[in-house]
Every structure is written in C-alpha cells, then in structure tokens.
Amino acid sequence: MGIRTGAEFIAGLRDSREVWLGNERVADVTSHPAFRGAIGSLAGLYDMQHEPAHREALTYPSPTTGNPVGMSFLIPRTREDLVRRRQMVKIWADATCGMMGRSADFLNTMVMAWAAKQEYFAQQSPECMERVGRYYEECRERDLFLTHALIDPQVDRSKNRAQQDDPYQCLRIVEETQHGLIVRGAKMVATAAPFADEILVWPFPPTLTEAEAPYAMVFIIPVAAPGLKIICRESFSRPDQFADHPLSARFDEMDAVAVFDDVLVPWERVFLHRDIKLVAQMYAGTRIREMTAHQTNTRLLSKIEFVYGLLCLMAEAIGTQDVPTVQEMLGEAASYVEIIKATLITSEHEAQIDPSNGVMYPSLQPLQVGRTWGPRIYPRLMEIVRRLGAGGLMQLPASSAIFDSPIGPEIEKYYRGAHIAAREKVSLFKLAWDLLGSDFGARHTLYELYYAGDPSALMAGFHREFKKEESRARVQAFLREGTE
C-alpha cells in the first residue's frame, strides 16, 4: 500500500470496463491508440513519485502505515502545508505542460476536502460520515486515479431533471436494496473516464427541487462496475507522432459520457442520497471549492507559463521580438501569469484555520478570480498565438519526415527562422498549431472555458458572494459627506 508506480497504474486498468469508441468496444484501453498517449503521461506522473529528486515534494508519510502516499491527500493544517500541496501540483502540472486538467491530484483533493469535513455527511447518517473517512483512507493508501461526472446530459436545459420526458434520462435512483442503490441514467462529461479507476458522482449545478429528490445522490463507483458504459468522444490522440503533434501525442485526456444501466452502488460508496438540501449545499458546505480551486489555479498557472514561453520563442524565431505591438502582446501574456500566481499566493496569505476541524483553508475569493478569469485569459492567449504566428502557422510541412526526403535541403532553407534552423522552427510552430488549431487545441480552449462550470454563472456568483459591504459603505459615506 502507498504510492503506485506507472506500471501498477496501467495494470489496474486491465479489467472488465465497458468503454465505447464509436462502434468499437475497447478490449484494452492501455494499448489502444486513443488512450495510450495519455495513459503513458499519467503513468509517468505516478513514476515521478518514486524518483529521489521528487519523492520528498510529491509524497508524505501515511498517517496509518508510515509509507509514502501522494501529497495531494495531505489535509493542510498550516500555511506551509498549503505551500507543499501547491508545489506538488505544480511539479505534476509542469511535467504535462498544464495540459492534463484531470491528473489524479484534482480528485484526490476533492476526496481530501470531503474527509476534512466528514462531519457534514453525518447530517445524513453517522455511517455516511464513516464511509467518507474510510474512502479517503482507501483512496490514499491505494493511490487510486479518480474522475468525476457531475453534469446531466445536454438535452433540454429549460426543464429540470424531474421534468424531462424520460424520468431516467438524468441519473436517478431506481431502487434502494439491502446492498445499495440501483441507479439509471447518464452523466457527462467525465474527462479521463476510460482510464480512471473510479468515478465520483454528484449533481451539478447543485440546484434541486423537491421533485428531484430521486436525482440527489453523492457516490463513487469503479469504472468497471457492471452496467456502467463509458461512451467516448472522437479521439484527438496521435500517439507516437511527437514531431508533428507534440501535445496530442501525449496529453489527450479523452472526455466521455457515463451511462448507468441499473448499476448497483454499494452502500459503502454512497455518501449522500435523497436529501436535496444536503446534496445541494455539499459543494459549498464541505469547502471543496477552496481546496479544488487551489489545485486548478496551480495547474492553470503552469499552462499559462508554458504558453507565455511558447509566445516568446515564436517571436524570437521570426525576429519580431522587438516590434512594439508584439512586445505589448507578450507583456499582456506575462501579466496573466502574474494574475493567476497572485490568486494562489493571496489565497495562502489570507488562509485561515476553520475552527470546526482545525484545517487551513486557502481564501476563496482570490481563488475564484482564477476560475472566473481563466475562461477569459485562455481564449485571449490563443488569439495572441494566432496573431504572433500568423501565416507561419501554415508554413509547415505536412510531416517533419520531409527533412529526410530529397527536398530536405530546400525545407532547411525556406522554413528556417531568424536565428534558428528549420527543424527547430518547424517543431516550435507545430507545437503552436497543436495548441491553437488542432482538434486537441480546440478542445483545450473549450476545456478552459467550461471545466469549472458555466463562466457566466461563475462571474455572476463571484459578484453575489463578494464582500461588498465596505465598498458600498464608502460610497454612501462619501455622498453623505457632500450633503452635510
């Protein structure tokens, strides 16, 4: 028990899971070209936990066995703990250029946050609280890789779950048996589901009317559970094509719909059910928002730093680095790095112990700036990639193999940059195109827009929750002074 190796992670995926890619039922996700690039990258992260250079930053001793376990399971009790958690997330995110939004540390953080607030679940029953604590320990000790599926299928958003024409379109409880809940219906968009060990399920947005009680549930289920189907989107993965598609070769996380066909969820894995108030308030009430945003902003920081580095190299490659308008765009990109970094540092600086559990929570409001600004910053960064690269993004040979063809010398001459050889410039601009214009790149812009929920609702919610009393009072006081 304790940290797994990449090989152990991969071996764990060879089970009876039902994964569909088009009309193909995938026999073994670990060797399939749609998945093996991302699986290899995730395995690399597990292996990093064992490397002497990273082991101290990525692990800590298990409170139960003393063996090393993943740092993303650490329940922070001090500001230093928050910093250690951030450093861990950053090391993994840097290793994947910030491209793997759902690496294991994301959901490890959610499960950790639940365990830190396990009393919340006691409001359903003392057993539910104990289950949450036990699951956290199991997940930590087995070093599991989780994903989550929260959203109802996009069919008719003008109706709530209970009003849809098929009562089992959204995931609903069919029956409660002595063994657990039987559930039927679908959830989306479970990123990484084909190669996750388990899926965590709860309803988002967490708005539930009385009639939606059968849809109110929080549980975890193995991906290989009988009756659970994972239906993938088209693959954007191009394994073994690093030279031409450096990002899609390694990091296509895959997104999927999870269809539950009368799946039994054992009681041991049911944390809340049928209580609409408890389920609706779970997201805020267990304070997973703060903890997960601390992880997601760190991952976003890593990605923005990577994009900024790419922009600098692109400008230098074509000799535009001293053009004032180019410098302005580079400065703008650099400022986004600092904005996201500031959300993290401020959240740690303003972190406070929650007296109910002695846990150190990063401050929510600065972190929400990452959630609300990420969807604005990232598309703008892609616009800057487009502006800086311009036609150069199309001055790319169909394949890098052309360098070794009879016309290689001409490619060397016409495809070189200001101070770099053609091979380097082509690699750089192929990276830019994979990020910006490939199917992989388009999915990433969509991901940054929506991974944290509807960006409009997030921004509106930020205003509603913002501590506005002092600002309002100052304006009112100013107006009073003028009339006195």
Chain residues that interact with ligand FAD, rule: CB under 6 A: 102, 147-151, 154, 157, 189-191, 255, 443, 446-447, 450-451, 453-454, 456
In whole angstroms, the minimum distance from the beta carbon of 389 to ligand FAD comes to 23
> 112 or 149, CB closer to ligand FAD?
149
- Name which of 9 and 440 has its Cβ closer to ligand FAD: 440
> Which long-range contacts does 14-21 make (Cβ < 8 Å, 24+ apart)?
15/224, 16/224, 16/226, 17/194, 17/223, 17/224, 17/228, 17/230, 18/228, 18/229, 18/230, 19/194, 19/230, 19/232, 19/256, 20/229, 20/230, 20/231, 20/232, 21/232, 21/235
Token readout for 85 is 């958690």
CB nearer to ligand FAD: give 378 or 451.
451
**Tokens 């200001």 sit on residue:** 418
Distances in Å between the alpha carbon of 267 and those of 128, 178, 179, 273, 357? Answer: 9, 8, 6, 10, 26
β-bridge pairing 172-176 and 180-187: antiparallel
In the bound state with ligand FAD, the residue whose beta carbon lies nearer, of 45 and 193, is: 193
The rounded distance, in Å, linking the Cα atoms of 75 and 293 is 15
Please check whether residue 290 is in contact with residue 361, taking contact to mean a CB–CB distance below 8 angstroms. yes
Comparison of 325 and 456: residue with beta carbon closer to ligand FAD: 456
Rounded CA gap, 184 and 261, in Å? 5
CB of 166 to ligand FAD, least distance (A): 17
Angle between helices 324-349 and 79-95 in degrees, nearest 10: 140
Residue 294: φ, ψ to 5°: -65, -40
For CA atoms 202, 205, 206, 210, the dihedral sign is: negative
Distance of CA 141 to the CA centre of its chain: 22
Q: Which is nearer to ligand FAD, 68 or 203 (CB)?
A: 203
> If you compute the radius of gyration of the chain from its CA atoms, what whole number of angstroms results?
24
- Whose Cβ is closer to ligand FAD: residue 13's or residue 150's? 150
Q: Which long-range contacts (CB under 8 A, 24 or more apart) does 234-238 make?
A: 234/22, 234/439, 235/21, 235/33, 235/34, 235/35, 236/438, 236/439, 236/440, 236/443, 237/33, 237/34, 237/35, 237/36, 237/37, 237/38, 237/440, 238/37
3-state secondary structure of 296: helix
Alpha-carbon gap, residue 69 to 308, rounded angstroms: 33
Nearer Cβ to ligand FAD (102/273): 102
C-beta closer to ligand FAD: residue 383 or 454: 454
Q: 19 vs 317, which CB is nearer to ligand FAD? A: 19
Structure tokens of 375?
Answer: 């969807």
